[in-house]
């Protein structure tokens, strides 16, 4: 039996959507993932983290240190695509590959993945630009943020400043509001954060945004989780500085 593999690249974005991305620095693909796919992936990640024989790569850790087992479902799962086939395929979704190629003008490659839990009452991350943490040249860094359930202001959605990607690379300093945000990150400086707007998403929606877009998240004030799968990509011809992210994953 011959197995056929489909390598043809899709072009899911309209000219209007591409123009909106260039203007705002972000775009939402509504219903980019089916409910079945979302439920299956959530259950898969839960099975990994709930296993009595959890592999070392999946254990909750901060920095290089493993932390308490009670944090199985609070600490993000970092770079699962390097170890888990399902996570890898979620990074390589055809709708993502096609959209990124349209926005970047050529094939993208994956460099990082993170599965976030964001349990009730957990804090968010202060306003920042992804390029500050992941330097690459020429800069083509782009993020996809898949909503693994409904996301709104109550359970700590993202907030963005439309058009802020046009400001260039900005300075970052200490986090100011430690009641709202994690202390271990940095916060963009000299920017009017009152211009931030909430990014409301339904389960399965895919947010794509530029690495220079100013964005943040708020504390989860609900009794619901706010799970998400976030991947970062660069164009195949860009070079990344961080040693731990130098491995490029083809999306083909």
Q: Exposed, middle or buried: residue 125 (CB in 10 Å: 0-12, 13-18, 19+)?
A: buried
SS3 at position 167: helix
- Determine the length of the chain: 252
Please give the domain boundaries of the chain with CATH numbers for all domains.
28-51+63-250 (2.60.120.620)
Which residues contact residue 15 at a Cβ distance below 8 angstroms, ignoring those fewer than 6 apart? none
Q: What does the block give as tokens for 116? A: 């976030």
Which residues contact residue 105 at a Cβ distance below 8 angstroms, ignoring those fewer than 6 apart? 235
Q: What does the block give as tokens for 23? A: 């203007």
Nearest residue to 114 (alpha-carbon basis) of 144, 158, 79? 79
The C-alpha atoms of residue 220 and residue 235 are separated, in whole angstroms, by 33
pLDDT per residue rounded down to tens, the chain (252 residues): 555 555 678 999 999 999 999 999 999 999 999 999 999 999 999 999 999 999 999 988 876 677 777 788 888 999 999 999 999 999 999 999 999 999 999 999 999 999 999 999 999 999 999 999 999 999 999 999 999 999 999 999 999 999 999 999 999 999 999 999 999 899 999 999 999 999 999 999 999 999 999 999 999 999 999 999 999 999 999 999 999 999 999 999
Q: How far is CA 224 from CA 69, 89, 151, 227, in A?
A: 21, 27, 10, 9
How does 151-183 read in b/e, with b if 16+ C-beta sit within 10 Å? Answer: beeebbbbbbbeebbebeebebeebeeeebbee
Q: Quote the pTM value.
A: 0.94
The C-alpha atoms of residue 156 and residue 120 are separated, in whole angstroms, by 9
């Amino acid at each position: 039996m011959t197995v056929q593999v489909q390598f043809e690249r899709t072009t899911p974005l309209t000219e209007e959507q591409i123009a909106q991305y260039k203007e705002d620095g972000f775009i939402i693909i509504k219903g980019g993932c089916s409910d079945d796919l979302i439920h299956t992936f959530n259950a898969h990640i839960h099975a990994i983290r709930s296993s009595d024989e959890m592999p070392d790569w999946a254990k909750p850790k901060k920095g290089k240190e493993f932390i308490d087992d009670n944090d199985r479902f609070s600490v993000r799962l970092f770079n699962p695509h390097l170890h888990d086939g399902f996570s890898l395929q979620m990074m390589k979704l055809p709708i993502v590959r096609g959209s990124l190629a349209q926005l970047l003008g050529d094939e993208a490659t994956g460099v990082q993945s993170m599965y976030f839990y964001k349990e009730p009452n957990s804090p968010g991350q202060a306003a920042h630009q992804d390029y500050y943490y992941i330097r690459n040249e020429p800069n083509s860094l782009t993020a996809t943020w898949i909503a693994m359930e409904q996301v709104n202001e109550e359970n700590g959605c993202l907030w963005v400043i439309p058009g802020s990607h046009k400001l260039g690379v900005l300075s970052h300093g200490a986090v100011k509001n430690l009641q709202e945000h994690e202390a271990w990150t940095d916060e963009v400086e000299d920017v009017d954060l009152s211009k931030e707007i909430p990014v409301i998403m339904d389960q399965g929606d895919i947010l794509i945004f530029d690495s220079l877009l100013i964005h943040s998240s708020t504390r989860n004030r609900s009794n619901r989780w706010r799970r998400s799968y976030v991947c970062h990509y660069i164009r195949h011809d860009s070079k990344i500085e961080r040693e731990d992210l130098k491995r490029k994953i083809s999306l083909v």
